[in-house]
Amino acid sequence: MHLLLVGISHRTAPVDVRERMDFATRGLPAALDKLAGCGSTAETIVVSTCNRAEIYAACEDIETARNDIATFISEFNGVSSSAVAPHLYAALDLDAARHLFRVAAGLDSLVVGEPQILGQVKSAHAAAVSAQTAGPILNRLFHASFAAGKRVRTETGLGSGAVSVSYAAVSLARKIFGDLDGRAVVVVGAGEMGKLTALHMKSQGVQHVTIVSRTLQHAARTAEAIGGASAAPWEELDSALSASDILISATGAASPILTKAHVESVMRSRRNRPLFIIDIAMPRDVEPAAGEIEQVFLYNIDDLQATVRENLQRRASEVAKAEAIVSEETDKFTAWFRSRAAVPTIVALRQRFESIRRSELERLDFKLAALPSESRTRVDEITRLIVEKLLLTPTEQLKSAGDDADAMAAYSEALTRLFALNDPPQATPEASRGTSKVEPFARKPSRPR
The amino acid sitting at 361 is L
Q: Based on the shown chain and the rule CB under 8 A, indicate whether residue 177 belongs to the binding site for another protein.
A: yes
| Contacting residue, 149, 161, 194, 256, with another protein by CB under 8 A | 161
How far apart are the C-alpha atoms of 5 and 70, rounded to whole Å? 11
Q: Is 50 a catalytic residue?
A: yes
| Contacting residue, 16, 294, 374, 439, with another protein by CB under 8 A | 294
Task: Choose one: 36-44, 128-136, 177-185, 231-239; the region binding another protein (CB under 8 A).
Answer: 177-185
Rounded (10°) angle between helices 405-418 and 301-363: 10
**Parallel, antiparallel, or unpaired: how do β-strands 41-49 and 89-92 relate?**
unpaired
Q: How far is the CB of 114 from another protein (least distance, A)?
A: 18
C-beta of 12 vs 160, nearer to another protein: 160
CA 285-288-290 angle, to 5 degrees, is 95
Q: From the candidates 1, 36, 50, 289, which is the catalytic residue?
A: 50
Q: Based on the shown chain and the rule CB under 8 A, indicate whether residue 303 belongs to the binding site for another protein.
A: yes
How far apart are the C-alpha atoms of 107 and 113, rounded to whole Å? 6
Backbone torsions φ then ψ of 187, nearest 5 degrees: -110, 120
Q: Based on the shown chain and the rule CB under 8 A, indicate whether residue 255 belongs to the binding site for another protein.
A: no
How far apart are the C-alpha atoms of 153 and 144, rounded to whole Å? 14
**Parallel, antiparallel, or unpaired: how do β-strands 275-279 and 246-249 relate?**
parallel
Q: Based on the shown chain and the rule CB under 8 A, indicate whether residue 305 belongs to the binding site for another protein.
A: no
Q: Based on the shown chain and the rule CB under 8 A, indicate whether residue 265 belongs to the binding site for another protein.
A: no
Q: Based on the shown chain and the rule CB under 8 A, indicate whether residue 249 belongs to the binding site for another protein.
A: no
Task: Choose one: 151-159, 257-265, 317-325, 405-413; the region binding another protein (CB under 8 A).
Answer: 151-159
Q: Based on the shown chain and the rule CB under 8 A, indicate whether residue 176 belongs to the binding site for another protein.
A: yes
C-beta of 273 vs 417, nearer to another protein: 273
Q: Based on the shown chain and the rule CB under 8 A, indicate whether residue 306 belongs to the binding site for another protein.
A: yes
| Contacting residue, 115, 191, 274, 394, with another protein by CB under 8 A | 274
* CB contact burial 330-356 (16+ within 10 A = b; e otherwise): beebbeebbbebbeebbebbeebbebb
| Contacting residue, 132, 207, 239, 272, with another protein by CB under 8 A | 272
| Contacting residue, 20, 150, 174, 358, with another protein by CB under 8 A | 174
Q: Is 114 exposed, middle or buried (0-12, 13-18, 19+ CB in 10 A)?
A: middle
Q: How far is the CB of 240 from another protein (least distance, A)?
A: 19
Rounded (to 5) percent helix, strand, coil in the chain: 65, 15, 25
Q: How many residues of this chain bind another protein (CB under 8 A)?
A: 27
Contact 79, 23 (CB under 8 A): no
C-beta of 136 vs 288, nearer to another protein: 288
| Contacts (Cβ under 8 Å, ≥6 apart) of 186 | 209, 210, 212, 237, 240, 241, 244, 246, 247, 248
Q: Based on the shown chain and the rule CB under 8 A, indicate whether residue 181 belongs to the binding site for another protein.
A: no
Active-site residue list: 50
Query: Contact residues for another protein (CB under 8 A)?
Result: 154-155, 157, 160-161, 172, 174-179, 268, 270-274, 291, 294-295, 297, 299, 303, 306-307, 310
